Amino acid sequence: MTTTELPRLAILISGHGSNLQAFIDACASGKLLANVSLVISNKPDAAGLQRAARSGIPHTCINHKDYASREQFDAALVNALQAHDADLVILAGFMRILTPVLIEPYLGRLMNIHPSLLPKYPGLRTHQRALDAGDKEAGATVHFVTAELDGGPPIVQARVPVVQGDTAKSLAERVTMQEHAIFPLAAQWFLEGRVALRGTKATLDGAVIPATGIVAETDCPAG
C-alpha cells in the first residue's frame, strides 16, 4: 500500500497538540497504518498547528468565534472534513461542545480522548477532581463520540496510580504519557475493522466492550 492509499485521519485540536504529535509519530513509525491528512484548530494560536506545519500536514484554523452558532461552526468543520475525505476524525484536546451537525455524519467515525477514567469525571478539571476525591488511580479514556458530552461508549482506558504529593499537573503529566499510547492504538483497531460502534455500544472483535473500556496493558488483546 502506498502512503496515499492509507486511511485518512483528520485531527481536531485546540492547544498544545501532544496527542496530535503521538499520531504523527505513530504513523511515521508504522505503528498506525494511516496518514494524518488534515489538522484543524479552532484557535489560531494553537501550538499544535506548528506541529502540523513542521510535519508538512495540511492544517487550518476554523475559529469558532467567526460563527454565530455552534451549528454553523460545526457545518464549517464538516465541509473541511468532507473536502479532505476523512475516514476517521480524532478529537485530540478539541475544547468545543459538538452538535449533531458534526456528530451525525461522522457517528462511529469520531473518537475523543478524555483525561479521566470514564464514566468518572466527565467535563473539566478531571485531575483535580480525582485528587479531591482521594482516588488511588486516575487515567484516560478513548471513546466514540455521541451526543452525550464525554458519554459515548469507551473503547480503551489507561490507568495510572495517584502517588503521594501529586498535584493536578504531575498527575496530568503521568496520564498524558498514557494517552499517547492508547489513542493511536484505538485508531489502529478501528482502521483494522476490529473496533466499531454498534448501536450504543463499542465492540472489539465483535464483542461488546465493557463500560470502562478495554484496560490497556492488563487485558489488551495482542496486535
141 binds ligand GRF (CB under 6 A): no
Choose among 156, 154, 161, 113: nearest CA to 135.
161
113 binds ligand GRF (CB under 6 A): yes
In the list 27, 39, 89, 140, the residue contacting ligand GRF (rule: CB under 6 A) is 140
C-alpha cell read off for 66: 467567526
17 binds ligand GRF (CB under 6 A): yes
Smallest distance from the beta carbon of 140 to ligand GRF, in angstroms? 5
Is residue 16 part of the annotated active site? The answer reads no
Are the beta carbons of 28 and 19 closer than 8 angstroms? no
Instruction: Considering only residues 78 through 97, tell me which ones interact with ligand GRF, judged by CB under 6 A.
Output: 92-93
Sign of CA dihedral 52, 54, 55, 58: positive
Characterize 127-166 residue by residue with b for buried, 16 or more Cβ atoms within 10 angstroms of its Cβ, and e for exposed.
bebbbeeebeebbbbbbbbbeeebebbbbbbbbbebeeeb
Instruction: Considering only residues 50 through 79, tell me which ones interact with ligand GRF, judged by CB under 6 A.
Output: none
> Among all residues, whose Cβ is closest to ligand GRF?
93
In the list 6, 18, 96, 215, the residue contacting ligand GRF (rule: CB under 6 A) is 18
Query: Which of the residues 114, 127, 143, 180 is marked catalytic?
Result: 114
Smallest distance from the beta carbon of 206 to ligand GRF, in angstroms? 28
C-alpha cell read off for 129: 477532581
In the list 7, 115, 153, 213, the residue contacting ligand GRF (rule: CB under 6 A) is 115
Give the binding-site size for ligand GRF (rule: CB under 6 A). 14
15 binds ligand GRF (CB under 6 A): yes
In the list 162, 179, 188, 209, the residue contacting ligand GRF (rule: CB under 6 A) is 179
Complex with ligand GRF: residue 20 or 204, whichever CB lies closer: 20
Give me the residues that bind ligand GRF (CB under 6 A), please. Answer: 13, 15-19, 92-93, 113-115, 140, 176, 179
